[in-house]
Chain A
């Protein structure tokens, strides 16, 4: 039971990271109906930018707590801003010229952009793993069970609390942004009917650009979380994280923001429990199998709208 609770906590943490990336997929799919294959790599770039800023500012575990918090907020802001520029650029160069063209073309440019981003980072930052000393250590001991074989401590680290709380806060803020502001309204209008929206004076190109910018900014948050939580990144982390986050988006119902978050949590939990109880090697198989099963039996996902075939 204790082990179960511990895995639950770990799974929710991992799921929060997946959820943040999944939002980027779901928004882009919702608005232009394409899988932004490069989004996983945008997440990777976000993690790298965060790492560079952390090192450049000289943040270490020894930094006083208040200063540490301020510095991390600064890191977050810089990473979000610069990653957003990357997201914007990818859309501008690889997707916008192909809008309204052949459906396969943007998929190929997306794959091309993904390959290019990975290799760019590999060249500019080196192929080696980048380890980072843990910045936030320490944890809450929730309870301890003593058995004859030894004791098992159920704990939640400060890092996990930070990840979960930040994700929650961002989710709430983000949902408000989509539901309450004119930008959100323009975005929903473009999802429904791009041509009509543009006839009614919505700047469609700008709305789509902003969607990429927001997705990239959230991916940067996920990148920072990933960096702090695992303490090591490399240029290849984007692919797996991207596929899993996309799985999450599909599982939750693509196009639905709460769905992306829910899907992220579920994928995180499934992966953690699978590695905790079955086998570590096949944890990716678990995630991919879930993806296949969901798509085959429930293509609209948990919170998505079913698509009716029009004859």
Chain B
């Protein structure tokens, strides 16, 4: 079951991003379906991370609209919002290609920071928390429980009080996902979540992502390099090349799209048939 045409959570509408003379993304449009795992793939330099940074507010697109539609029916024009509000209001959370954890803070602290906004309200913007009045204690206990839940889900519970920088690489990737989930997002954006993982960790990641999608009603948009990972877990695949969309559909459709094969193997369009024959398609 896929929904990207009838029930989209995120709509990228004719987005163009230029850096000086360089066009990183050119007139790109696609939908991310609610409850789907959507993968954005493409060769190096295809503009995947740029799209991501536009959707999460770190870049402002030169042209185009990015619309987030929350379950409650609210619409947000992400290209007009400052980055921190996209997470706080529009319910979009993200991870980073080169992991950005708070290395000197413990795992638990990392997840507490992710719940900053609700806790801020609960502490009456510090005043109540400082004086020890209001419901801060209760809110904090709930926040700890939520953190514990996600640490458990990512099998990091036994290391909760260790500094994040101490974790091995794969665990750091999981912690980043747990941290993003602690913001209670409706759309989770993952920048190359499987990069640097071994096969076992990769399989665990698949389970985790399916769990997030099914149990927490969170849509997932991910960038991935590795075709095998993508084909296994995603419901919907979009292929970028040189900043333009060259294919959009289910994994099977994309897999058999000659343009995709050409982009990945790097041949001109008219040679595609020949290449396909050679690779046995």
Contact = CB atoms under 8 A, between A and B. Distances in A.
A and B touch in the complex (CB under 8 A): yes
Interface residues of B, number: 5
A220 B58 CA distance: 46
A311 B96 CA distance: 8
Interface in A253-311: 309, 311
Interface in A102-155: none
A130 to B, nearest CB: 50
B53 interface: yes
A249 B59 CA distance: 30
Contacts of B53: 311
Contacts of B96: 311
Nearest to B96: A311
Interface in B51-102: 53, 58-59, 96
A309 B100 CA distance: 14
Contacts of B59: 311
A300 to B, nearest CB: 14
Contacts, number: 6
Interface residues of A, number: 2
Interface in B20-79: 49, 53, 58-59
Contacts of A311: 49, 53, 58-59, 96
A226 B53 CA distance: 51
Interface of A: 309, 311
Nearest to A310: B98
Contacts of A309: 58
Contacts of B49: 311
A214 B59 CA distance: 41
A309 B96 CA distance: 14
B239 to A, nearest CB: 22
Nearest to B191: A311
A307 to B, nearest CB: 14
Interface string B204-229: 00000000000000000000000000
6 contacts: A309-B58, A311-B49, A311-B53, A311-B58, A311-B59, A311-B96
A61 to B, nearest CB: 57
A204 B96 CA distance: 33
A162 B96 CA distance: 57
Which 3 pairs, one residue from A and one from B, show the smallest C-beta to C-beta distance? A311-B58, A311-B53, A311-B96
Nearest to B50: A311
Nearest to B52: A311
Interface string B173-211: 000000000000000000000000000000000000000
A311 B49 CA distance: 9
A311 B24 CA distance: 15
B101 to A, nearest CB: 15
A311 B51 CA distance: 12
A309 B53 CA distance: 12
Contacts of B58: 309, 311
A309 B59 CA distance: 10
A305 to B, nearest CB: 12
A206 B198 CA distance: 43
Nearest to A311: B58
Nearest to B58: A311
